[in-house]
Structure 1
Amino acid sequence: MRAIVLRIMALFGAVALSCGAWVLARYSLPPAEYALIAPLLPQQDGQSVCLTGSFTSQVMNVEDWSKAKMEPTKHLSPDGKPYMRPVPPVMKDKSVRAFTLQLVYDTRTSDYDWIYNFRLAADVEGVGTMFAAGECPWYAKDKVWGWDKRQITGNTTDLYCYIDCDGGGFSLDRAPATPALLMSFDPTIGLKMKGGCGGGGIYRIKPATSGVTFRLQTASAETCRPLEEWASR
């Protein structure tokens, strides 16, 4: 009887070990080729890629910072008066008709493996065309960097683009097995954008909730010409 029990225990142990090895192997495998973002990014100096998407049922909230008003906060200054902060009016659930994105290869070097400059145009109901520009550093490999020995974890499936000084940003994830990227925004920070012709205002666009994505397909270079013209002004 004891021998049978020992055999059963050994069998369960072997099964558990096998399952553990399978799980470890599965989660240590690199992303599949169709999930990699690199094939959709410019590869060398002078290159750029253009992506665009049109939408019929996607909405975002739009803060109009050109019309912000100062309002008191709950915090008091040393003289007993409340600190003030600017509060913009918010246009809720505005239809996003289109996004056009250009990523331009940059030769700067730092802790990242590559860096791209982005130009983004948004066509939004009630506002019209808005523009934004910033950068997208890409950390493709694990590394230790700097005097403080920072641990940097590489990422081969997505890219984060942002504007310095709290201008916000957005994430780009590869849509598996397609020449498309999924763009998403943080609902708290959003992205700061400028109005179109004549510099008509400063806005910040934000999704009403997290998890909202916009699918952008690769497009011809001609599609991004308006972005280049805007950037050259």
Structure 2
Amino acid sequence: MLRVKNLNVYYGGIHALRGINIEVQEGQIVSIIGSNGAGKSTLLNAISGMVKPKEGIITYKGKELPKTPHKIVDLGICQVPEGRLIFANLTVKDNLMMGAYLRNDKKKINEDLEKVYQLFPRLQERINQMAGTLSGGEQQMLAMGRGLMGNPDLILLDEPSLGLAPLLVKTIFEIIEDIKKMNKTILLVEQNAYKALSVADTAYVLEQGIIKKEGDAQEILQDKSILEAYLGKTH
């Protein structure tokens, strides 16, 4: 579905991504794990058109991706950014409708809104509340719901559990699995390596802009060196 080939990204003199090759198959959850500053968010930003690569090709459903973010969204790719970036001065409902900005299929938009409320009942309870007054967990749910309102086939999820209490982290990952069941494909960037590997089909380990390991997520979860490096334990 998505293929990234020989991707190189620079920030000034810093070589942030070095010859990255990844593949995302339709219907999968693919996790990118790595420490802070490894280049995980840069990779998602390059796919969504927010960062311009110096080299490399990104193809989606067999065709090279356009360079402009709104055209990429139009193709069915949506990014739920790190830090949520919700519209604090708009209501919950207005935030969700912003996710459907490029759509004009009113009936389907309303159907998708109902699906989002089923997935996130808390958002329906706070439908007219200003988004800036929501808790961190609710804001994360809102950011994910807004992404779903674009009716994407591929969702780029950037650090969805960042800054959340353990109980909410559990909830967010359960919702990620529910989203997969809605026939969505997910590329997940996440510092919580254990959770990210637990829900993923395939995983990549990114270190200092280089893919150090790739393969079946459950196999990587059993890898002693990965456990020591990212999970703080040896077994």
TM-score bracket for this pair, using the shorter chain length: under 0.3
Structure (1 or 2) with the greater helix fraction: 2
With a CA cutoff of 8 Å and minimum separation of 6, indicate the structure with the bigger relative contact order: 2
Larger radius of gyration: 1
Normalized against structure 1, the TM-score is what? 0.23
Structure (1 or 2) with the greater strand fraction: 1
